[in-house]
Structure 1
Amino acid sequence: MIDFGGDSRGIWWDRLLLNLDSHLKEKSECLKYIKLAMKDSSILEKELLLIQDRAIKIDKEKEIELRIILDEPVKKCIKNRVLGKDLGDGRVNRFVIRNDENDEVECSVEEVARKYYLENEGFTNGVHDEGAIWHTIFGILFYDIIFDVEEFSDTWISECQDSPIDLPNTLYSRRKTQFDSRFEWLNQAEDQEIENLIRNVWKNNCQITNRECNWSLFESPDIIIDFWSCLPRDGIYQIFKRLAENYRNCRSGFPDLTMWNISEKRVTVVEVKGPGDKLSTKQRLWLDCFQKFGIRAEVCHVAAENDKQLL
């Protein structure tokens, strides 16, 4: 039985507090209910952080004990030329960079940051995919568990599906034994064993479209293996465990960029923000997660160097 509403409690708490604080201006009443909400163990992490942020804002006496302590990501600020905002398609900012042929081209704020990290931070590879690379590695390492048609046939009811119907809700709880066994194996397996798993999954499935794996990110399994060799084994175990256990609420919010250097065996994730942009709750939580588990996490703010209009 799939529970589609069991994780909505925090959403209703947040809505109540928003009404009391912002609309009714009942600060003392809001603070009273914040105290109750902070004791509710069923509230998910993302809503709990929203509630805690509100508590920090209105709890002048600091009566409320914080339940989530986030590590601050590294912050970088860079500047780049920006065009005018009113150019027809609703984009907030359009940036200009020089391509490999030294021509000026329009690009996204994420591409500005990716180019900066490749040219100035010593990285040799980098993608702007907003987490697709992490979902792909997760999908490859747990492919037989996620896409098991035989044992979990009730999650496959149409030939048109690209994922089991319980992916957002009970992915982990229904496959706990299999996931935990694979997590334990990943912690203990030799590098060659993991490489063999990656190659076998690629060979047998890279032509099959599914929700989790973006095969086009990698030209071959060798590139996946090179990327995997840069990751801290304990850290990646924790990151994928968080994703598996609460897929519905953790599938989004991954940093925009993933940058790596194979020879130096280092990886950095980067959330890119243009002028006026702020981190969302899910983004803050994922940055904290990567930082805590041994993968450098950064926020790159791209400021406008000028404000030219395209004529």
Structure 2
Amino acid sequence: YVEAKELEIELLGFLSNNKFAEAYECAFKARELLVSLPEERRLKAASLPVSIRRFTDFSVLKRCVAHGAGVLERQKKYAIAISWQRFLLKTPELKPFCMSQRGALWDRLSLNLDAHLKEREEALQEIREGLEDDAVADKDKLMLQDRALKISNRDFLERIVLTEPVKDFLLCCPRPGLLAVLRRVVMDYRNCRSGFPDLTVWNTVAKTVAVVEVKGPGDRLSTKQRLWLDFFMRHEIRAEVCHVV
């Protein structure tokens, strides 16, 4: 433990002086030591109470490796940083140590995949794994959830070729209402393929949207038109009938 702690102090000293190459060398040494420690010692350390487990060489060396991943990020070696973060998160033998860091590691891993490697599907998959990780604290799971929403919302707009009017509409239309309409069409296309309102209008200032059924003199609403108007109102989308005289 003392030797591991001395290595950590040396590494932190290099970091405080922005000597990243030297800090990485310390982290690399820590990783080699971590994988070479005897299995019997690991099992004994893992059996200790969490409050004491942090004072083992396994915990100290694992922290050093986490610092090494941070150094790799500073050097913009994101692919290698990701491999180090996955090593820390997905090596089962290391899970009992530094469990309080797991949430932050999942977050950095997903950030690197999304922002730097542009691998959004992989980033979302890692977030799912992080949310299922029983060692991740609730506050960290909320942080991961927020990151997933941020990735998903941006991805929703960027994956589709959007003209400006369509983009304006999507920004004005309530997401639950839009999803409800799409779900209805997909689940029951035969019965709802007709009767959809004539006009869809939106206000980019007020961020509101409405559907309008236009009727001429003597024209009446059909059954399917009435059902659609009722559907929109039930899903908090304004629905109107415009009578042309």
TM-score scaled by structure 1?
0.30
Q: Name the structure with the higher helix share.
A: 2
CA radius of gyration, larger in: 2
Q: Name the structure with the higher strand share.
A: 1
> Which structure has more RCO (C-alpha within 8 Å, separation ≥ 6)?
1
TM-score scaled by structure 2?
0.37
